[in-house]
Amino acid sequence: MAYIYSPWKKIETKSGSSNPHENYAYGHVCEITLDAGTATTVDINTPAFDFSINSDFTVIVNSDATDFDNAPALQNMAIQGSATGSAGWADMSTLATASIDATSVHFIHDITTHGVMPFMKFHADGFSADPVTGGTKSLKIMVIPHVT
């Protein structure tokens, strides 16, 4: 098995400040557990978002800055959309290829420019190198809505 993903989880925390507008995190996270032998040809997909999209949002890839083996890059990252959720997935916005080894990368999906679809998910065409040589490591994908 190359990877296992968790369902999307809602993030809603506040800490440190008595001002409710400070130190507040919100959004959604999907954890992908990668094991040794994750092939460079295996597409990485989250489940379809199980939350509504009604604003632009930021996607944070490797939000915990996991230090992977072999310094991999995720290739051709994108937000994909589908009318049915089972077929016809197409790229809506992309972030090409980026190194995620011990760092986070992010991109913004602008709904005015890129739109929304009934079903949306994060997708990548795989890794540039095997990210795990022994045991397992986690890759977290976060979606943070831009609330106005």
pLDDT (0 to 100) of residue 1: 42
Contact 59, 146 (CB under 8 A): no
pLDDT at 97 over 90: no
Task: Beginning with the edge strand found earlier in the chain, give each strand of the sheet holding 78-82 in spatial order.
Answer: 44-45, 119-124, 78-82, 90-94
- Single out the residue of 3, 145, 135 nearest to residue 69, CA to CA: 135
Q: pLDDT tens, 14-36? A: 666 666 556 556 799 999 988 87
Which fold does the domain 3-11+24-145 belong to in CATH? Answer: Jelly Rolls (2.60.120)
Counting every residue, how long is the chain?
148
pLDDT (0 to 100) of residue 133: 81
Q: Mean pLDDT in the chain?
A: 85
- Tokens 């290829």 identify what position? 97
Q: Which two tokens stand for residue 26?
A: 């919100």
Q: What percent of the chain has pLDDT over 90?
A: 47
Euclidean distance between CA atoms 111 and 108, whole angstroms: 9
| Domains of the chain, residue spans | 3-11+24-145
Q: pLDDT tens, 64-96? A: 999 988 878 888 899 999 999 999 999 999 987
Q: What percent of the chain has pLDDT over 70?
A: 86
Euclidean distance between CA atoms 2 and 75, whole angstroms: 16
